[in-house]
């Protein structure tokens, strides 16, 4: 099973549109916060056919409207500020914040913990747990990235969003 992991879209729907075809090949998607506006959640839900798991970020402003839009899609699950799920026997945790994710990884209860917030691509091992930041879709720091995770191996590869044609 494969998992696409992304974060920090910040309403850059143009980059998201270029990322979605490759992300849609994954079995499930984990979004680690900062859609910003509800229309970005809708674009993600319409462009990714499998289950989507979402944790809130600090820039997800109108959570009532985001929640209302998410309810339109049976394959979108809003987990709140933290997510804990098991996919194919792999224990996965998620938060938007690096500090919270690092604590989750250090606790020893997860095989994979994902976060966003600082927009920096990072992979670190905490014991047997992989702590992963997929970077940012937004491209604020010059690179628009997301991660492809092979859950059987608990291995992540950073993927660059293609440049505009």
Structure confidence by residue, pLDDT tens digits, 13-56: 999 999 999 999 999 999 999 999 999 999 999 999 999 999 99
CB 93 within 8 A of CB 110: yes
The confidence band for 142, taking pLDDT boundaries of 50, 70 and 90, is confident
How many Cα atoms occupy the beta-carbon half-sphere of 70 within 13 Å?
22
pLDDT, position 141? 86
The SS3 call for residue 20 is helix
Strand partners, 130: 112, 125
**Burial class (CB within 10 angstroms; exposed 0-12, middle 13-18, buried 19+) of 123:** middle
pLDDT, position 125? 97
Is domain 2-160 classified as CATH 3.40.50.720?
no
pLDDT, position 109? 97
The predicted model scores a pTM of 0.97
pLDDT > 70: percent of the chain: 100
Is residue 165 predicted with pLDDT exceeding 90? Answer: no
User: Rounded to an integer, what distance in angstroms lies between the CA atom of residue 88 and that of residue 20?
Assistant: 23
């Amino acid at each position: 099973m494969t998992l696409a992991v992304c974060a920090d879209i910040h309403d850059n729907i143009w980059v998201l549109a270029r990322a979605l075809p490759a992300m849609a090949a994954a079995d499930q998607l984990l979004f680690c916060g900062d859609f910003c506006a509800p229309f970005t959640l809708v674009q993600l839900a319409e462009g990714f056919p499998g289950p989507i798991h979402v944790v809130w970020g600090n820039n997800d402003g109108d959570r009532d409207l985001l929640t209302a839009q998410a309810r339109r899609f049976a394959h979108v699950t809003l987990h709140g500020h933290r997510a804990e799920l098991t996919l194919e026997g792999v224990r996965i945790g998620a938060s938007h914040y690096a500090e919270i994710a690092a604590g989750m990884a250090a606790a020893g209860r997860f095989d994979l913990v994902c976060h966003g917030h600082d927009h920096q691509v990072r992979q670190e091992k905490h014991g047997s747990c992989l702590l992963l930041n997929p970077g940012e879709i937004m491209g604020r720091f010059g690179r628009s990235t997301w991660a492809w995770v092979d859950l059987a191996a608990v291995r992540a590869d950073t993927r660059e969003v293609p440049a505009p044609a």
